[in-house]
Amino acid sequence: MEDSNIDIRADIPLLENVIYLDAASTTPTPKPVVNAMCDYFNNYNSNTGRGAYRIAVKSTNEFEGARSKISKFIGCKPSEIIFTKNTTEAINLVANGLNFKKGDSIIVPNIEHHSNFIPWLNLKKKGIDLNIINADKYGVIDSADVEAAVDNNTKLITTTHISNAIGSVQPINEIAKIADENNILYHIDAAQSAGHIMFDVKKIKADFVSFPGHKGLFGPVGTGFLYCDEKSVEKLKPMNLGGGTVTNVIGGSFEFEDVPARFEGGTQNIAGVIGLGAAVDYLKNIGIDKVEKHSKKLTSQLFQEINSIDNTIIYGNPENIYGIVSFNIDGVNAHDIAKILDELKNICVRSGHHCAIPAIRHMGSYELGGSVRTSVHYYNTSEEIQIFGETLREISKFFGD
């Protein structure tokens, strides 16, 4: 972190007051991102793609400029990015926009966030089968199980890249290969990997990837997007029709706009997207390789701190978790630990089911109200992890007696 020309601690003032170990929920927004949004609000607040006057043209240019920066960052064309308000909306667009038929089958692991589970589960109402595969005891999917689950009815495989409940990294390249060889669509939920590790959509060869703007990428809340490969986009129906989605309306019919405009009905989160563009610039200035190195170091330090305390149970294999360490103190409710960490040392961690009840059941922490989840990003320091470790040790002694 020291050799970067960016002072991320100065750019995120709230870090003066708390030890923020909850990047997996959302990340605080750095000042340059806030400033880019303020510039929009103060100087050219107007709609995109509509007005001919100069500030409206500037809005459009800045908005499309952000699309362009984001597309370069993940290795695709700007037209392959569809803006949404979060990861969940992107996943729902895929689940509901594809033309599944009765008897089609979808493969989904049992450790997914609800946002990559419920939209698929909901398709059962239409007669679509879900083939749910179980992860191993560390929360990792075996690609051989995915391959074995494929049959003639399989139309899509959907998996997370990094589990939000466990931190386990999934074999997405192997799964993409299986999907490709069997002519099946592949969707990846990149909510916990985007901005944390290098993610090149073309190298991975997924058809669809759902992204948050507001987590690892450092964009503002209310932003997200779907990468949709240009070869697969024609299979996807727009779900939000209206202003901005058509080129012509004659009598009782209409013609769709090109991609991605046909998917982006109505006024968009213009300030948010411009902020997200600034966030991608910010991350590029840091360098994703530096982020990776730093996060790996802190993940390992977190694991060691927690593991050195007698009565803790950690979920996930230390060799294969990234950015997230999820644990319990034997017999103690997860929320109690989180509240005490906050009250003693202003340490913010997530506790509970993490919107992933099947994953929590799989790990066996449901009865403890779920797990305590620590998650890091580039702004965290070794000293913070040390303070967290010392505080947790004190808390564990209290419950151990």
| Minimum CB distance to ligand PLP smaller for 141 or for 340 | 141
* Known active-site residue 355: yes
Give the residue with the Cβ less far from ligand PLP, 172 or 191: 191
3-class state of residue 3 by DSSP: coil
Does residue 358 belong to the site contacting ligand PLP (CB under 6 A)? no
Give the side-chain half-sphere CA count within 13 A for 181. Answer: 10
The structure tokens 């450092």 sit at 218
**Cα angle, residue 109 at apex, residues 233 and 378 outer, rounded to 5°:** 80
- Interacting positions 284-313 with ligand PLP (CB under 6 A): none
Part in contact with ligand PLP (CB under 6 A); list of ranges 112-120, 168-176, 256-264, 335-343: 112-120
Look-up: residue for tokens 């003693």?
344
Residue among 73, 30, 15 nearest 197 (CA): 73
Which residue of the chain is nearest ligand PLP when measured via CB?
164
CB of 352 to ligand PLP, least distance (A): 12
Q: Which of 48, 71, 86, 301 binds ligand PLP (CB under 6 A)?
A: 86
Using rule CB under 6 A, residue 224 touches ligand PLP: yes
- Picking from 57, 5, 378, the residue whose alpha carbon sits closest to that of residue 218 is 378
* Contact assessment for residue 263 and residue 82, using Cβ atoms and an 8 Å cutoff: yes
**Binding to ligand PLP by residue 27, rule CB under 6 A?**
no
Q: Which of 159, 168, 192, 391 binds ligand PLP (CB under 6 A)?
A: 192
Q: Which two tokens stand for residue 205?
A: 């060869």
Minimum distance between the CB of residue 224 and ligand PLP, rounded to whole angstroms? 5
Our finding on whether 350 is near ligand PLP (CB under 6 A) is: no
Q: Which residues of 356-377 are buried (b: 16+ CB within 10 A; e: fewer)?
A: bebbbebbebeebbbbbbbbbb
Alpha-carbon distance of 281 to 275, in angstroms, equals 10
**Residue 277 beta carbon to ligand PLP: minimum distance, rounded to whole angstroms:** 18
189 binds ligand PLP (CB under 6 A): yes
With CB under 6 A as the contact rule, which of the stretches 188-196, 259-267, 324-332, 369-377 interacts with ligand PLP?
Answer: 188-196
**Binding of residue 375 to ligand PLP (CB under 6 A):** no
In eight-state DSSP terms, residue 237 is P
Question: Cα(132)–Cα(333) distance, rounded to whole angstroms?
Answer: 29
Residue 337 CB-density burial (10 A; 0-12 exposed, 13-18 middle, 19+ buried): buried
Nearer to ligand PLP, 191 or 274 (CB): 191
Q: Does 88 bind ligand PLP (CB under 6 A)?
A: yes
* Closest residue by Cα to residue 160 from 105, 102, 112, 208: 112
Closer residue to ligand PLP (CB): 168 or 312: 168
Residue 53 CB neighbours (<10 A):
9
Return the number of the residue (49 or 167) whose C-beta is nearest ligand PLP: 167
Please say which residue, 26 or 381, places its beta carbon nearer to ligand PLP: 26
The answer to whether 113 contacts ligand PLP (rule: CB under 6 A) is yes
Cα separation of 49 and 314, whole Å? Answer: 50
**Is 191 near ligand PLP (CB under 6 A)?**
yes
Omega within 30 of 0 (cis) for the link into 78: no
Options 158, 164, 168, 351; binder of ligand PLP; rule CB under 6 A: 164
Q: How many CB atoms neighbour CB 290 within 10 A?
A: 15
Nearer to ligand PLP, 116 or 328 (CB): 116
Is 160 an interacting residue with respect to ligand PLP (CB under 6 A)? yes
Q: Is 116 in the site for ligand PLP (CB under 6 A)?
A: yes
The residues binding ligand PLP (CB under 6 A) are 24, 86-88, 113, 115-116, 160, 164, 189, 191-192, 212, 224
Active-site annotation, residues:
355
